[in-house]
Chain A
Amino acid sequence: MTDPTFRAGFDATLETAINSALRYDPGTRARLDKLAGKVLAVALSAPKMNLFLVIEDERIEVHSRWGGEVTTELQGSAIAFLQLLKNRDATPAKLGVTVRGSSAFLAELQSILRDLDIDWEEPLSKLVGDSPAHQIGLGVRAAAGWLKDALGKAPGAAAEAVSEEWQVTPPQAQFEAFAEDVSELVQGVDRLEARIAHLRQRLNQRGTD
């Protein structure tokens, strides 16, 4: 059996990621509150793992075991499950995910998790502090710049062959969507940078007062 410490670490990290996002999204939290007490059981086939998402007040708890009642049960691979959470057009049937129990609860939870508008600035700086958050931001900005260049320079035909024929890279549309996500993140980092500059200015002012 795997050391339970690792599993507890995974559950804790996932729970923190979800609830950090919820913390800055009161609208979604209110929607979640209406689902309080409901439980989604996820039986992953690859990797083999059981996961229980328990809705409690305005937060989601992640458990590795659950002895109580389950509202909806899903069975499928981790990739299919992630697709279900991320992709607006994804349905359990299309992805080969088996559903037992309330599909209405699944649809609502799916919509909540998809719509989560994550404000990166606050949670990031809360987790790692303002300065490291800024450093991480710089790294992300550099990566985003490289992505933009790569998109601009990629020769069309070769890209199409690599993407469509060999399927070793994502299609252009998917790549662009990803770049757009990164761009959004960059804007978030810009806001964070501006905030740090503002705080620094205020600190300096306080120093000279």
Chain B
Amino acid sequence: MNALELAGAGLRYGRTWALRGCFASVPQGRVAALVGPNGAGKSSLMRLAVGLRRADEGEVRVFGEPPRGANLPRVAFVAQDKPLYPELTVAETIRAGAGLNPRFDTPGARKRLDDLGIPQRKRIRQLSGGQRAQVAITLAVAKRADLVVLDEPLANLDPLARHEVMEGLMAAVAERGLTVLLSSHVVAELAEVCDHLILVSQGRVQVAGDIEELVAAHRLLVGPAGGPPAGSYDVVGRSDTERQTTLLVRLRGPVHDPRWTARELSLEDLVLGYLRAPDAVLAPRPVAL
């Protein structure tokens, strides 16, 4: 079962399309990275996923149904600015969460905050950025949502807080079997955390899929200038010097040419390679649709 499916989904603000014809799916239990340049459409995609906006074309499904009505409690959204009421105490924030969400797990939320060492008497404005992020994530988890969408959860946090926020989020994934979609434009820090990728650029999904499969399917080929090596592959990107040619390829079969060396790519290299080649699109359409 897919936690999230985009089937040709698009969104426009007035006459301007922010997203067009997006295809992507995130299987249940995955931690998906939503990456792309600023202004590429990441926030619009998240708004579609959590039902803050309806698609202007195509369809969005969360656990098989549109994200609205009775399906909405299954989705939680943590916006980038972690919008909490600064004058409320942590305990009052939890009570507000319980009042607004039918399935809210108050004891679970209290325990999680205790485990994190966040004092519930304190006002939100007295907390550090990392603690505020932890409170916001605690609310999302306590809502008993099955899909949690986080917009830049690590932005503006120091390295220790980033690590602690990720630890807390991953523990929640392990304990609750959550599916997570989180956006970031720092790809390097996602490599250990995410197992699924949605790369958005210029208002569409450019690459979507399992990160391990994506990495396994691509190589950087380095060889003599001129003709490309024999073999079955698609060229994503290419750079040439007088003596040498470098190709980023997606393999369809083995490449056999002893004059060429093949190197595996990191997730970051892969993302950069596709961003440099905006015409290369690798976002398979789901079979079920």
Q: Do A and B bind each other?
A: no
Using a CB–CB distance below 8 Å, which chain A residues touch chain B?
Answer: none
